Amino acid sequence: MRPYELILPGITLLPVVGVIVLLLWKNATKRQAAIVGIISESFALVIPIVLLTTLRRDGAVFFSIPWISNLNISFSLSLSWLSITFLITEVVVTLAAMIYSLGEKTGEKNSNYYYALLLLFSLGMSGTTLSDDVFLFYIFWELMLLASVLLIVGWGTGEKRYKASLKYFIITHLGSLMVLVCLIMLYVNFGTASLTELILQAGTLPANMQVFMTIFFIIGFSVKMAIFPMHIWLPDAHTVAPMPVTIILAAAMLSMGAFGVLRFPYSLFSIETMQPFAVWLMIAGLASEVYGALMALAEREIKRIIAYSSVSQMGYILFGLGTLTLRGMQGAIMHVVYHAIVKGLLFMVVGIILEVTRRRNIDEVGGLGNRLPILTVCAAIGVLGISGMPPLGIFNSEWLIFSGGFDSGVSIPLTVMTLIGSLLTLVYALRFFGMIFFGKKNPESLPEKSPRALLVPTIAVTVFLVIEGLLPGALLAWATNGLAELFGGLFL
């Protein structure tokens, strides 16, 4: 094993060290716990960046040690172009949420457990993107769910959180079970849990089995993506979760479903196997896009508006994946990153609004524009971002997704409908912005100023969103490299 390969497991193990420190440090203040959490999580960001040179040279970095040797299961990780994009996105989102947490009240009690669980939540996502063993993949996949449920139960708001977290757990676990069936089918058929080996051999499976597994994988991962009609867990979970957890859920965790689609059916099987599903994926994406947008338009509760917007945005990603074209999928991967930034920003804005107004409904707040000018600018950029306005990032990804839709030749009308449907995003985004910042003033909910500790990370994310949108080249290159791993190197 080469020296640089030895640092790869640090992405998963160093946060574990942080978790252990936090669990042992029972008297840690929130600030102390946050420092431990942020330092531990930073390793998960630094290590992939350090490994970038190697990644450019070798195409992938592997690490593997035997684990359950008699079952042919190992602790195998692989950093590839596909995984690094998702990995860095989720780590950055987690770091932003951890910093944002410092400015609000969440986690003031049992801070050590709170930050330990945030680390575990992120570890679940990092492990999911890095696993090169299907057994390990599932463990990280479920860790992500378990940690997020515990965060909602422990630090969420209201009595409703117990029911909401139960609903979230059971529905997403159902999806996970469908994924598990497929993973074990692969394992049983080839006698190995190594994903690298499975990718090489999966094409030899009988056609009907490939079709069955594709259906199960797609439905299973769509539950995590909260694609309509499998989204029912999302609005409640997002509403009751503490804001930093909502940020991670919406900006990072949902896209793990998209990663699953890319990592499994798209990597294991040929494009011919996927072709019959293309149109269905596009229809599901369109339905989710329109439904999410309509619900966001109909909602009164501020957090739920942004939550439904996630359902809509995941629809774009699924649509892009469904096109099965280079551009469509480039757009889908870029949309994951841009959506993470925009959604993170919008939830940060919502967090500040809820904090300063103590109101949850959109018609109870209004006229914040004059009182909170900086927040208004941040919100305006976020709203324009989610609506796909140039030169902000989502414009780039949507451009590619729609181009992919037209390229695919599967269904031009579907692409046109999706394009028209995107107008709904603009409508709910403008309603959200207009009512909160320029709507009728509610004298009881007019704040003096935004809390600085919350505003600083919000401004930072806003700046990042603008820069990222102006410089899409690097992200496009990463997405293109990642796509080279799919369909046996079809897009190489």
Partner 1 sequence: MSGSFEIVLPIFILIVGAFVVYLLGRLLQLSNRLLAILTIFILVVTLGVLLLQYLNLPEIIQQPEVFFGLEEPGGILYRSSAVGVFILLIGVVIGILITLYSGEYLSRDPRYLVYYPLVLLTFSGLLGMFTSYNLFNLFLLTELTTITASALVAFRFKQQASIRAGFKYLIMSSLGTMTMLLGIYFVYRSTGSMQLVTPLEAPDEFARIGAACFLLGFSLKAGVVPLHTWVPDVYGNAPAAISGLLAGIMSKSMLFIMPVVCLRLGISQAELGAYLMVFACFNMLLGSVRMLGQESLKHFLSYSSIAQTGYLMFALGMGFYYGVDQVYGVGLFLFMVIAVMKCLAFLAAGIYRHYAGTQNIERLRGVSKHMPVIAHILSIAMAGLAGIPLLAGFTGKWLVFSAALLTADVFAVICLIVFMVSSVISLGGYLPMIIKQYQPPTEPGRLFPGCTTPVKVSKWMLYPAEFLAVMTVVIGIYPSPWVNLVSQVMQWMMVTL
Evaluate the CA torsion angle 181, 186, 188, 192 in order and state its sign.
negative
- For residue 53, the minimal CB distance to partner 1 (Å) is 34
Residue 140 CB, nearest distance to partner 1 (Å)?
A: 8
Is residue 451 within 8 Å of residue 234, measured between CB atoms? no
Q: Please say which residue, 135 or 228, places its beta carbon nearer to partner 1.
A: 135
The site string for partner 1 over 46-85 (x = CB under 8 A, - otherwise) reads: ---------------------xxxxx--------------
Among 169-177, 422-430, 451-459, 476-484, which window interacts with partner 1 (CB under 8 A)? 169-177
**Minimum CB distance to partner 1 smaller for 59 or for 191:** 191
Q: Does 146 bind partner 1 (CB under 8 A)?
A: yes
Per CB under 8 A, the segment of 165-173, 248-256, 373-381, 406-414 that binds partner 1 is: 165-173
- Alpha-carbon span 409 to 407, nearest angstrom: 5
CA 133, CA 460: separation in Å to the nearest integer?
Answer: 37
- Of the candidate spans 177-185, 295-303, 363-371, 437-445, the one that interacts with partner 1 by CB under 8 A turns out to be 177-185
Judged by DSSP in three states, 447 sits in coil
Residues 6+ apart with CB under 8 A from 269: 202, 203, 210, 213, 214, 487
Candidate residues 31, 188, 413, 448; the one interacting with partner 1 per rule CB under 8 A: 188
Comparison of 187 and 228: residue with beta carbon closer to partner 1: 187
Q: For residue 487, how many other CB atoms are within 10 A of its CB?
A: 22
Is position 474 an interface residue for partner 1 (rule: CB under 8 A)? no
Alpha carbon of 36 to those of 39, 88, 95, 141, 149: distances in Å?
5, 19, 12, 24, 22
Sign of the torsion angle spanned by Cα atoms 475, 123, 382, 229: positive
Give yes or no for residue 142 binding partner 1 (CB under 8 A): yes
The yes or no reply on residue 86 touching partner 1 (CB under 8 A) is no
Nearest CA-CA partner of 317 in 364, 409, 251: 251
Q: What is the DSSP string of 327-356?
A: HHHHHHHHHHHHHHHHHHHHHHHHHHHHHH
Q: Could you count the other beta carbons within 10 Å of the beta carbon of residue 169?
A: 20
Q: Which of 39, 45, 60, 174 binds partner 1 (CB under 8 A)?
A: 174
**141 or 291, CB closer to partner 1?**
141
Q: Does 165 bind partner 1 (CB under 8 A)?
A: yes
Q: Measured from the CB of residue 486, what is the shortest distance to partner 1 in angstroms? A: 25
How many residues sit close enough to partner 1 to count as binding (CB under 8 A)? 27
Instruction: For partner 1, give the closer residue by CB, 184 or 466.
Output: 184
**CB closer to partner 1 out of 112 and 323:** 112
Name the segment binding partner 1 (CB under 8 A); options: 100-108, 179-187, 265-273, 422-430. Answer: 179-187
Least spacing, CB of residue 37 vs partner 1, in Å: 21
Tokens 């069955």 map to which residue? 212
- Segment contacting partner 1 by CB under 8 A, of 56-64, 141-149, 383-391, 392-400: 141-149
Alpha-helix residue ranges (DSSP H) falling in 103-206 = 111-130, 134-155, 160-190, 195-201
**CA–CA distance, 492 with 485 (Å, rounded to integer):** 8
* Residues that bind partner 1 in the complex, under the rule CB under 8 A: 67-71, 135, 138-139, 142-143, 146, 153-154, 162, 165-166, 169-170, 173-174, 177, 180-181, 184-185, 187-188
